Structure 1
Amino acid sequence: MIYTVTFNPALDYVIAVDHFVPGQINRTKEETMVCGGKGINVSTLLANLGYESTALGFVAGFTGEEIVRRCQKAGFHSDFIRVKEGLSRINVKMKSDEETEINGMGPRITEKNVALLFEQLDELKAEDVLVLSGSIPSSIGNGIYKEIMERLSGRGIQIVVDAEKHLLMEVLPLHPFLIKPNNHELEAMLDRTLTTREELLEGAKELQARGARNVLVSMAGDGALLLTENGEIYKEGVCRGTVINSVGAGDSMVAGFLAGYLKTGDYGYALKLGTASGGATAFSYGIGSREKIMELFAQLNEK
């Protein structure tokens, strides 16, 4: 089973506004609401590809109940812990001449809530996959990813980590199965500019030397590269299409990669399916559909 953890899930209110002007009344031309949060995005894409997963994390209030309902509608299981104080977030994602985001705070998560999550994670078995992704709410210590990985160490659980600099660097010695920084995040982690693919590959090798088993680096319009635990190097180009949505594209790449690897055990296939999945979301207003993913997968195979 695949499990995803989203510590601070949200309802994303995604709107489009022609030429947004601060200080004036602006009217939307398009609007939609979707479940937000990196782990939820991973579970949604996996469901679109026909893979079961269970979303874990914390929800609160009427917005939390709506997140649970929408997860069920999207086709995957959830086992969120209900938090008493506060509300699950509503995030506003505005598409205009520039993309603008306003993210809510989320509920207050207590030590007791975290202990309940640990109890859930203790039920994971060998060969299960756990995806840890996204930021950590202020009410939880920043060492939570490390605590989880230490707790599950030695049990044969494949752990994927997709998080910002300090969260990711802290867990490298615990040998995550996969990490997925983009090129800018890789630069931030190593505190230097990485301009060429060769430099990015050297950066990936440094993270692998620090403990990561497989390093997947997404490079926006320049494609992606993968350094495997066997020392193999795979490169993939980009899909053809018009980018209309950047939200969830990286999460979709992680999900597509996992689906491809679990199906075949082939890293090259996994990278191709991950690239197609990321592209499908980037070319859609929500998380990419199976039809769009397979269309782009076939496109990549033409190259």
Structure 2
Amino acid sequence: MIFTVTLNPALDYFMEYHELENGLVNRTKLTRMTPGGKGIMESRMLSSLDVPNTALGFIGGFTGKFIRESLEQQGIKTDFTQVFGQTRINVKIKTRSDETSLDAAGPDLTSEDVNNFLTKFDTLQEGDIVAFAGTVPKSLGENFYDLLIRLVKTRGAEFAIDIDGQKLLKTLLMKPLIIKPNVEELEEIFSVKFSKKDDIFPYGQKLLSMGAQNVIVSMAGDGALLFTKEKVYFAQPVKGIIKNSVGAGDSTVAGFLAEWSQSHDVLTAFKQGVACGTAKVFSEDMPSARFIQKCYEQIKIEEVSNGD
């Protein structure tokens, strides 16, 4: 079983405009609401691929109720921890030229909330995969992911993790199955700038040497790299019309885990991950399995040298 963990979920409220003018009344041409949060996006993509998964996290209030009901309508199993506070609302504003996200803070969590949540890990077993993604509410402290990872490893399960910067590096000693920084995140982590693809190779290898089992570096419209202990692979980009980039990275991780959990074939998992991320970018919301397959068939992967 794959479990996704979203510690700070959100109701994402999308608003589209032709143009946005500050200081004036702007009337939207389209609005929609979807369950949000990186782990929840992973669950939604896994569901699109018809891969069983369970969404974990903290939810509360009418926004939390909306998230739970929306996911269950999509056939996603949920085992959220109910809290007193209100799940946040994030506003996503899209114009013809820009995408802007206005993200709110999450609710305060009590020690009882935390203890109730930790019991969800008691049933983990060998072969399970837990995907951690996104921010941690301030009330949980800086080291909460470390605690959760130890619980996962104690049960003999695997974990994937998608968090920012130096916090990601701290988790590598625990040997995550997959991490997926994008180019900008990798530049920030190591305080460098990349001018070409080959510049990335030493840093992908460094992440492996620090403990990651597999590393995907996404390069937006320039494709993606997969670093394994044995080889490095490059997935050429697929051309298309960008409709909504929110959740593309989460979809890539979900696609990788979906295939890996069934075949343990890292190259096929990489291709599936890139297909899911690509299909997400080219869709307003979550892509269909048919469209994901169409993208999969267009992806070309080649083995590349380590910058030679």
TM-score normalised to structure 1 length: 0.96
Q: Which runs of 5+ in 1 are unaligned?
A: none
For structure 1, which segment, 213-222 or 192-201, has the greater mean C-alpha deviation from structure 2 after superposition?
Answer: 192-201
1:166, CA displacement in angstroms? 2.6
Measured in 2, the distance between the counterparts of 1:3 and 1:302 equals: 28
2:249 corresponding residue in structure 1 = 250
- What amino acid is the match of 1:134? G
What is the CA deviation profile of residues 207-264 of structure 1, one whole-angstrom value per residue up to 9, with x for unaligned ones?
1111111111111011111111x32211101122101111000000111111122232
C-alpha distance in 1 between matches for 2:288 and 2:253: 15
Q: Deviations 1:1-24 (Å, cap 9, x if unpaired)?
A: 000000111111111101100110
Give the distance between the partners of 2:168 and 2:91, measured in 1 at CA. Answer: 26
Alignment of 1:1-303 (within 5 A): 1-84=1-84, 86-96=85-95, 97-228=97-228, 230-300=229-299
Measure, in 1, the Cα distance between the counterparts of 2:267 and 2:251. Answer: 17
Between 1:46-55 and 1:266-275, the stretch displaced more is 266-275
Please state how far the C-alpha of 1:76 moved relative to its aligned partner: 0.7
- RMSD between aligned residues: 1.5
> What is the CA–CA distance in structure 1 between the aligned matches of 2:190 and 2:230, rounded to whole Å?
20
- Post-superposition CA distance 1:251-285 (Å, at most 9, x none): 00111111122232222211111111001110111
Distance in 2 between the 1:111 and 1:286 partners? Answer: 35
**Preserved contact between residue 64 and residue 86 of structure 2 (Cα < 8 Å):** yes
- Deviation of 1:39 after TM superposition, in Å, equals 0.4
Q: Deviations over 1:35-94 (max 9, x none)?
A: 00000000000001010100000001111111110110122101110111x210111101
Q: Tell me: CA distance 1:170–1:111, structure 2 relative to 1, closer, same or farther (3 Å).
A: farther
Aligned-partner Cα distance in 1 for 2:181–2:187? 9
Identity of aligned residues (%): 39
Q: Using the TM superposition, name which of 179-188 and 254-263 deviates more.
A: 254-263
Structure 1 range deviating more: 100-109 or 29-38: 100-109
Residue 128 of structure 1 deviates from its aligned partner by 0.1
Deviation at 1:301, TM superposition (A): 5.3
- Amino acid in structure 1 at the alignment position of 2:186: L
For residues 178 and 302 of structure 1, do their structure 2 counterparts lie closer, same or farther at Cα, with a shift above 3 Å needed?
closer
Shift of 1:108: 1.0
Partner of 2:305: none
> Take 2:140 and 2:30, find their aligned partners in 1: how far apart are those partners?
35
Q: Which moved more, 1:112-121 or 1:5-14?
A: 112-121
Residues in 1 aligned to 2:174 and 2:202: alpha-carbon distance in whole angstroms:
21
Alpha-carbon offset, residue 153 of structure 1:
2.3
SS in structure 1 of the partner of residue 251 of structure 2: helix
Contact kept, 8 Å, 1:128 with 1:157, in 2: the verdict is yes
2:199 aligned partner, one-letter code: E
- Residue 216 of structure 1 aligns to a residue whose secondary structure is strand
| SS of residue paired to 1:34 | strand
Are the counterparts in 1 of residues 235 and 300 from structure 2 also a CA contact under 8 Å? Answer: no
Distance 1:109 1:195 in 2: 43
In structure 2, the gaps of 5 or more residues are 303-308
Q: Which runs of 4+ in 1 moved over 3 A?
A: none
What is the aligned length?
Answer: 301
Q: Distance between the aligned counterparts of 1:217 and 1:302, measured in 2? A: 14
Q: Does the aligned pair in 1 maintain the 2:6–2:56 contact within 8 Å?
A: yes
Moved more, 143-152 or 131-140: 143-152
Give the AA of the match of 1:24.
Answer: L
Q: Is the 8 A contact 2:234 2:301 kept in 1?
A: no
Kindly indicate whether the alpha-carbon contact (under 8 Å) linking 1:248 and 1:287 is maintained by their aligned counterparts in 2. no
